[in-house]
Chains A and B, each alone.
Chain A
Amino acid sequence: MRNRILLITAVLSLFLASCSKFLDQVPDDVLKEEDIFKSLVNTRAYLAQVYTNMPDEFSCRFAPSNYAGPYTGASDEANYWSLSWVMSNSMNQSTWDNTAGGTFWINWYKPVRTATDFIKKIDNANPAEVSDMIKLHYKGEARAMRAIFYFWMMRLYGPIIILDNEVPVDGTGDEIFFARRPFDECVDYVVEQLDSAYMEIKQSVQGTGQRHDKPLTYNNVVEYGRVTSGVCKAYKLQVLMLAASPLFNGNTRLASLKNHDGTQLVSQTYDPNKWVRAVNAAREFLEEFDGPTYTLYRESDPDPWVAAYKSCKNVIVTDWNDEWIFGRPMSSTGDYWYDITPKLVGYSSSVAKGAGFLSVNQSMVDAYEMRNGLRITNPLSGYVSSGFSDFKSPYDVRERRTFNQWVNREARFYVGVTYNRSYWQNQAGDVEVIPVFEKSGNSGRSQSTWDVTSTGYIVRKQLATTGSASRGWVYLRLAQIYLDYAEALNEVEPGHPDILKYLNMIRERAGLPGYGSGPGQIEAPTTQSGIREIIRHERQIELAFENVRYFDVRRWLIAEETMGADVYGMNTFADGDDFYERVLVQKRRFLPRDYLWPIPHDEILKDKYLVQNPGW
C-alpha cells in the first residue's frame, strides 16, 4: 500500500514539475525605466513629457483641461456667461469650491518630477546617441521648465512645496509629506534655477554654431517652443515681478497663512528691494536680448492707423515672430477659434461658423482709448456714446453704419473686439459676411440659447486667417517685458526717463501719441501713483486677452474693484436699435479668498504639514 502511494506521489510530482515553467512569462517588449536614456529618441520623448504639460490656452473654454487656464473668462476682460458650465463662471461668482484647483496642483508636479529625474540622469545618457551639447542644453531646458512650472503654480497658489528630490513611490510618512515653503524662498529657488539653466544653455552651444538665444535646431527644424537663454531671463523677471508686487510683498491680509509650526509663508513687511531685484532682472534681459534677439513686431501701411492695427493684430497670429519670447508651439486652435467666431446662421457653407461665446465685457470695451490717445472719459476725447455714424474701421472695405461708441477708437480696439455689424475678417462666398448679434440676427439669441455672445461683443484678438490650423499661443512677448520694466522702475526710481521711454514704445507701435511734454504728446501724470495708473492701463489694453490681466489685478491687490464689478454689455435680447442699450449681463462677486486658488482639499487631508490658503 505504502509503495503504491509513493509511486502515485512520484508520478504526480513528475507531472507537476513539468508544469513549473508554465507561469514564467515576462513581457520583454516594454521600455524599462533604466533604458530611456539609451536612445536619443526616447531622451527627447522623456523631455517632451515635461513640455506637454504647458498650458494649451486655446482650450480655455475647457479649462482646466489641457492645463488651459480659465483666466480670460475669469478676468474683467471677458466672459463665457452664455455657456454656463465653463469654469470661469463659477469663479466670477465665487462659487467654486476647494477641489477646483486640483488639475494644476497635481498635474504640474508631474513635469516637475520628470524634470528632476531627467536632470539627474541625462549626464549618463548614451554618448553614442546623445551629444554633450544636447545633454547640457536639454538639462538646462528641463531645469528651466521645472522652474517655470513652479512659477506658474506660485501665481495660482502663492507659497508652494518645493521638492529637492523625487518623492519615493513606496514611501510613507515624512518621506512623502512636506510643508509649503515661504514665498520668498520659493522665489529664490526659482530664480537660482533659472540662472543655472541660463548658464547651462549658454555653455552647451559654445563652439557648435547654434545660438543660445534661439531654440535649438534639430534636423533642420528650429524647435520653437524649447527654452532658450532668453526665456530663462524673461521668466526670472516674471518671478521677481510677482515677488515684488503687493500681493506677496508685505501683504498683511495673508498674515494668517502660516505653516502649522508657525512659519509665516508670505512676508508681512514691505521690502522695496524686491522691486530693485525686478528692475535689475529687467535690465539684465534688455541689455542682452533687446535688439539682438527680440524686437517689437511691426507692419507697415500708408495709413499709420492701419499700420498700427496690423502690427498689434499680427504680433499675436504671426507664429514666433521676433517679439515672441515663449509660448506653446503648434497647438490645435479649433476650440478657441470656435469661441471667437460668430454663429453666422444663413451664410453659405463656405463661411466657417462658430459659436462666439467668448464675450468681451463692456468695461474692457470702454478701457480702449480713442484714436487720439485720450480715454473716453476725457471730455476732449471726442467719444460719443449714442447714435450712429458711417465709419470705416481699419480692417473694413468700406464705410458702414456704426454705433458711435465704436467709432474712431484706437487701433487695438479693432484688434481686440468684434462688435455688432462689423465687417467679418474671414469673408467667403459671394455675400458680405456681417455678424449680427441682435436678438433675431444671424448670430443672435433666437438662433441659439448658448452659442451666442452674452454682451454683444466677441473677443477678436486671436482671430487668424488660417482658420483652425495649428499654431502657437504666445505666453510672453517683448512688449510685456517693456511694461514690466516700466512698472518696476516706477516703484524704485519714479521719474526715471526709462519709464516713459518704454511705455511710449508700446504706445507708438499702437499708433498712439506718447506721454510727455513733446509736440503731439499727451501730458503725463506727475505723481508716482499717476504713472502707476497709466502703466497699468497700458498693460490692460496692450496685453488684453493674453492671460495677463487675471494675474495683474491680483498682483496689484485691486481685484475687489475690477473682479467684483458686475458685467455689462449690449442688450442681446433686443432687436434693432434697442440692442444698443447697456444692460446688466452678469452679477459678479469677488471674495478675499479668490486672490489665491485653493489647494485641493483632499491634498490637505492627506498631508498633515500642508496648510490651506485663507478662506478655503
Chain B
Amino acid sequence: MHFLIKQKLALALLVSLFVPLFLIAQVSDSESIVVSGTVRDKLNAVMSGVTIQNLRTGVTSLTDANGYYEIAASKGDTLTASHVGYITHRWVFSERIVENITLEAVAGSLEDVVVVGYGQQKKISLVGAQSTVKAEELKHPVANLSTMLSGRIAGLVGVQRSGLPGSNSADIWIRGIQTFGGNASGALVIIDGIQGRDLNSVDPEDISSFTILKDAAATAVYGSLGANGVILINTKRGKSGKVNLMFNYNEGITMFTKVQKMADAKTYMELKNEAMIAAGYAPQFSQAYIDSTLSGTANPYVYPNVDWLDLLFKDVAPNRRFNFSASGGTENTRFYTSLAYYSEDALLRTDPAVTYDANTRFQRYNFTSNIDMNWTKTTKFYLGISGYITDYNQPGAGATQAFSQAMNASPVFYPPMYPGNLVAGIAYGSTPSPNPWAAVTQTGYTNRFTSKLNSNASITQDLSFWVKGLSVNAMYSFDLYNESSHSRRRSRTLYYLNQAQPYKPDGSLNLEQMLTGSDNLDFSTSNYANRQFTLQAQAIYDRHFNDHHIYSMLVYNQLSQIYPFTSSWTDFIPHRQQNYAGKATYSFRQKYFAEFNVGYNGSEDYAPSRRFGFFPSVGVGWVLSKEKFFEPLSNIFQFFKIRYSNGIAGAPGTGLRFGYLTLITTNARGITYGKPGSSTSVSGINISQYGADVSWATSHTQDLGLEFNILNNKLSFVLDYFRSHRTGVFLTRADFPGYAGLQYNPIGNYGIVDASGFDGTVELQPIQLGLKSTISFRGTFSYNRDRLVENRQAPYADPYQERRGQNILAQFGYVAEGIFQSQEEIDNSPDQSYLGNPRVGDLKYKDLNGDGVINAYDQTKISRGDVPDLVYGFGFNFTLGRFYLSAFFQGISGAYRTLSGIARAPFSGDGNDGNVYAIVTDRWTEDNPKANPFYPRLAFGSVASANNNVPSTWWVRDIDFIRLKTVDFGYNLPNGTLKSIGLKNARIYFSGVNLLYWSKFKLWDPEMNTGDGNTYPNTRNLSLGIQANF
C-alpha cells in the first residue's frame, strides 16, 4: 500500500510534467467501463484520427470526425492519446468517465501553434513571414532582453551600443532600416496584446513566446504601425495540474569587453610636443619637466601623472539575478505568478570619504501574475497584472560623462585632487575643466526611480451554441508608468597650481582658486509619467467544414496615451489611435492556404481628411509535400512548402504632433529694448511649424518563403526573400530655398526607400550521439539592402556626390590616396589648401572632379555606415548525460565606422586637457615617413589638423565582428536528489555573456556606436547559478 501511494504520487507528478519515465504494470481487477471524450488542439479545433490506447489492455480506438472517442478501461488504467506532431497525452482513469483532452503540438513542429497578430495560428498554415525564438535562449543574466536577440532570429538586426547599467539596451530593427530622417525605424512591440510596453523591462523567465512579424501579410493587421515589423511577446500562463514552483538564482560579475587604451604620460608629452612643433608652436613640455614627471620621485602635485581610466574603473563589478515563479491550477482556474530581481553595478569606483551613495547601480524588481478562469463552459476570463520598479543611481556628473572625461583627460594636466581634499581643475569661462575623478566622486549623485504597472482583463465568450464557430472577446487594459528623479549635486571649488610659481615662499603649493563652487549638495527633482488605456473587441469565426477550414476575425482596438507632466494643452491632449483589423483565412486539407488581412486605422495627429489609412494584404501557401506528385521526393524532403505574400503596411507617424496645423511659438527669442535701468523685454513670435497634409508612409512588401525539412524531419530550413518599396516617408523638404525665410522648412511625405533581402533559419533537432549524448544546432542569418530613392534634397552637381541611390546610412567624404611624402608631391598635386594648409606627412586626397582643387565637390560615398547588412548567429546545444553545454556565436558584416574626434585627430582640440589613443605612436614623422601609418603627421590645434581631420576613406574602418555571445554549461542533478524537501529537479549552471569577440577593429568594442570611442564600454558577464523546480 505504501508502495502504491508512492507510485501514485510519482504518477501525478509526471502527468503534470508531461514527461513519461516509466510504465505502470499494476493491474487492478475492477469492472471495465467506457470512457469517452473529445480531443481538441490548442486552437480548440476538434481532432480526428487521434489514437487512444489503453496501455494495460493494448486496445486502441480512433477519434471520429468530431474528435469523439470511446474506449473501455478499468479504474487505474493508464490511457494515452497520441497523434503525429503532438505530445502524447497520458492519464490514469480513476473517476471521470468523460475525459476531454487538449493535445499540445511538439514545439517547433508544423502543428505547433504560433502567435500571430491578434491571435494564434498553426505554424503550417502561416503564409506571412515571421520568426520565433525559443524563450529558453533568452534567459541570460542581462538587464535588457534586446541585447540577446541579434543573430537569434532571422530578420532581426541588433547592435548593443553601450555597456553602462541602465542604458545598455540594444538598437534593434526588423529587416534592417527602411526609413530615414526623423522617422522611427524600430519595430512595433506588443506585449500580451498591448502596445507601448517595454521590451527591455520583461524578465526573460516570464516569456512564453517571442515572435517577430516581418512582411505585410503578417503585419497588415497593424495597419499604419506595422511597416517596420512587429515584435510579439506573450508571457507565461498557467496550466492545470499540480503547482510547480521554480526558483532561479545567479550571482555574477561584469567586466569590460575592451577598454580603450589611451596614451601614457610619456607618450602624451612627447607627442604633444611633436604636434605643437609641427604646427609652428613652441613645445609645451621641457625635457626637464618630462624627466621629472616620469621620474616617479618628483612631487606628483607639481608633476602630475595620472592614468585616469585605471583610477576610475574597477576590474569587476557584481551582477545578480533572482527569479521565483509558481504556476498551476485546476481545470477552471489556472495561474502563473512570478517575482524577479535584477541588479548590476557599473565598474566606476566611488570615494569612501563622501557621505552619500554615488555608486552607479541599476536594480529592477519585476512581478507577473496571469490568471485564467473558465466562468462557464463557454466563458473564459483572463486577468494579467504585471509590473516593475527600477532604481538607478549614478554620480551627479553622470557615469557617461565620467567615462568621457576619463578618456579625454590629459594624463599630466593636474592630479585628481590636491592635498586637503581640494578639487583640481581650471575654468573655461564659468565651465569647469574636465576632472574625471571629481566627476565621479565629488559631484553628488542622481537617483532615478521608475515604476510600471501593466494590466489586462479579457473575457471570451464562445457563441457556438448560437452560430457554430463564433466567439467574441473583449479586453481592457491600463498601463501606468511613473518616473521620478532626484539629484543632490554640487560643483566644488576648483584649484590649480600656479604653473609659473608652483611653490609659495613657505614651500607649500601655490594653489590658485580657479572657480568658486560649493561643498553643499543641492537638491532637485523631476518627474515624468504616462498612462495608457486600451480597449479591444474582437469577433472570431472559426469553423471546419470537412476538408475546408475557414477562419475569420474582426477586431476593433483603441488606444489612448496621456503624458501628464507636459506644459501645454497641445502636448497633453491624449495620443490616440483607432485600429480596425480583419483577417480571413482559408485552408484545404492543410495543403492550400490563402489569407487576406486588412488594417484600417487612424490617429488624431493627421488631418481630419486623411486621418485613416487602409492597409490590405494577401498571402498564399502551398504544402507541396502533401501532393501526390511529390511522393518520389519524400525520401529527401519530408516537408516542403512555398508561400508568397503581397501587401501594404504603414510606417508609423510623423513624429510630429498635429503636423497638419500651423503652430506658433509665442516665447521665441525676442529682444530687450531700452538701456540699463529702463528697458522692456519682448519675446518673439515665430511660426514653429507650417501645417501640411502629412500622414503615414506606406510600404509595399512582397515576400517569397520556402520551408522544407530533410533528414527525416531532423533538419529544417526556412528561407525568405523580400522586397519592399516604401513611399511617403515623412521628411523636411531640404530642396526648399533658404531665402524663403521660413523658420523651418516645410514638411511632407516625400521620401522613398527601396529595400530587399534574404533571411533564413536552419535548425537541427537533437540527434543522438551515442547513448547518453545529443547535439542540436540552430543558425540564422539576415541580409538586408536598402536604397534611398528620394529624399527631397537638391540634386548634386556631380553624380558621385548624390545621396539618392545609396543606402540610407551612407557616409560621404574624401578619398584618401596616401600621405604626402614631400613638398614636391604637394606642389604637384591638386590644391588642397582649402581644407587647411597641407604639410608633408598630411593626407592626400583625390581630385574627383578634376578641377585641380580639393574641396567639398570632391566628396563621395566612403562607407555604408555602421549598421550591418548581414547579421548572423549560430549555436549548438550538446548534452552528455546530465551535463549540457550550449554556445551561441553572433556576428555582423558590412558595417563600417568613420573615426572622428580624438580617434581621428589627436591634439586637435586646442586645449591642454585632451588625451589621445595609445596607438598615436603609429604616426608619420619626418624620421620615419611611413606610407601607411595609423595617423598621418600630428598637429596641434584644429587649424593645423584641418587637412587630416575631415571624413575620408583613411578613417573608415571595418567593424565586422564575430562574438561568442553566450555560453551555458550546466549539470542537472539526478532526479530524486533532495526529494525530501520536495525538489523535483534542479540544475546548477555557469552562464557567460559577451565572452570573446574577433574583429579587425582594435580601438574599442566594435559594436559600440561611437566614432571616437567616447562611450562606456560593453561588458562581459560571468555568472554561476542554480535553478530548481519544486
Contact = CB atoms under 8 A, between A and B. Distances in A.
Interface string A19-49: 1001111111111110010000010111011
A432 interface: no
A319 B672 CA distance: 13
B910 A338 contact: no
Interface stretch (B190-198, B634-642, B731-739): B731-739
Interface stretch (A99-107, A272-280, A361-369, A561-569): A99-107
Interface in A438-471: 440-442, 444-451, 466, 469-471
B603 A85 contact: no
A401 to B, nearest CB: 20
A48 B683 contact: yes
Interface string A182-213: 00000000000000000000000000000000
A33 B611 contact: no
B669 A345 contact: no
A30 B736 contact: no
B738 A105 contact: yes
A89 B737 CA distance: 29
A22 B578 contact: yes
Interface in A578-616: 587, 589, 600-603, 605-607, 610
Nearest to B833: A95
B750 to A, nearest CB: 11
Size range of the chain A interface in the assembly = 35 or more
A113 interface: yes
B736 A176 contact: yes
A428 interface: no
B466 A85 contact: no
Contact of A449 (B580, B690, B855, B911): B911
Contacts of A330: 671-676, 679, 681
A27 to B, nearest CB: 4
A113 B602 CA distance: 35
Nearest to A85: B942
B676 A470 contact: yes
B118 to A, nearest CB: 15
A48 B739 contact: no
A49 B834 CA distance: 36
Contacts of B17: none
B685 interface: yes
B943 A89 contact: yes
Contacts of A383: none
Contact of A49 (B516, B686, B856): B686
A447 B501 CA distance: 10
B556 interface: yes
A27 B658 contact: yes
Contact of A345 (B498, B734, B910): B498
A221 B674 contact: yes
Interface in B543-583: 554, 556, 558, 568-570, 573-574, 576, 578, 580
B468 to A, nearest CB: 10
Given A89-B943, A338-B429, A167 B740 contact: yes
A79 B657 CA distance: 46
A45 B666 contact: yes
B834 A605 contact: no
A52 interface: yes
Please indicate which of the listed interface residues A22, A346, A355, A469 has the most CB atoms of chain B within 10 Å of its own CB: A22
A471 B662 contact: no
B127 to A, nearest CB: 26
Size range of the chain B interface in the assembly = 35 or more
Contact of A36 (B282, B428, B685, B795): B685
Contacts of A93: 836-837, 943
Contacts of B675: 222, 224, 319-320, 329-330, 471-472
Contacts of A89: 943
B498 A12 contact: no
B674 A223 contact: yes
A392 to B, nearest CB: 27
A23 B578 contact: yes
Interface in B649-674: 657-658, 661-664, 666, 668-674
A110 B794 contact: no
B678 A48 contact: no
B480 interface: no
A607 B611 contact: no
B684 A30 contact: no
B528 interface: no
Contacts of A602: 734, 738, 794
A178 interface: yes
Interface stretch (B326-334, B358-366, B741-749, B956-964): B741-749
Nearest to A347: B512
Contacts of A607: 737
B795 to A, nearest CB: 7
A32 B690 CA distance: 11
Contacts of A601: 856
A109 interface: yes
Interface in A105-161: 105-106, 109-114, 161
A49 B912 contact: no
Please indicate which of the listed interface residues B676, B734, B746 has the most CB atoms of chain A within 10 Å of its own CB: B676
B684 A52 contact: yes
Given A102-B738, A603-B739, A441 B664 contact: no
Contacts of A29: 568-570
Contact of B797 (A32, A472, A605): A605
A51 interface: yes
B678 A113 contact: no
Contact of B604 (A23, A114, A167, A178): A23
Contacts of B670: 45, 48-49, 51-52
B76 interface: no
Nearest to A571: B282
A10 interface: no
Contacts of A44: 682
A471 B676 contact: yes
Contacts of B690: 169
A169 B742 contact: yes
A243 to B, nearest CB: 21
A235 to B, nearest CB: 18
A431 interface: no
B912 A448 contact: yes
A398 interface: no
Contacts of B912: 448-450
Nearest to B580: A16
Given A45-B666, A93-B943, A225 B740 contact: no
Nearest to B573: A25
B946 interface: yes
A605 B674 contact: no
Given A23-B602, A469-B676, 7 more contacts: A26-B661, A27-B573, A52-B668, A84-B943, A95-B837, A177-B737, A221-B674
Interface of A: 1, 4-5, 8, 12, 15-16, 19, 22-33, 36, 42, 44-46, 48-49, 51-52, 54, 83-85, 89-90, 93-95, 97-99, 102, 105-106, 109-114, 161, 163, 166-167, 169-170, 176-178, 215, 218-226, 319-320, 328-330, 334, 338, 345-346, 349, 355, 440-442, 444-451, 466, 469-472, 573, 587, 589, 600-603, 605-607, 610
23 contacts: A12-B554, A23-B576, A24-B604, A27-B570, A95-B836, A97-B834, A98-B855, A102-B738, A105-B739, A109-B738, A109-B740, A110-B742, A215-B673, A221-B679, A222-B678, A224-B675, A225-B671, A225-B674, A226-B673, A450-B911, A471-B675, A573-B282, A587-B837
The 7 closest A-B pairs by CB, nearest first: A113-B741, A223-B673, A605-B794, A167-B740, A106-B738, A330-B672, A109-B741
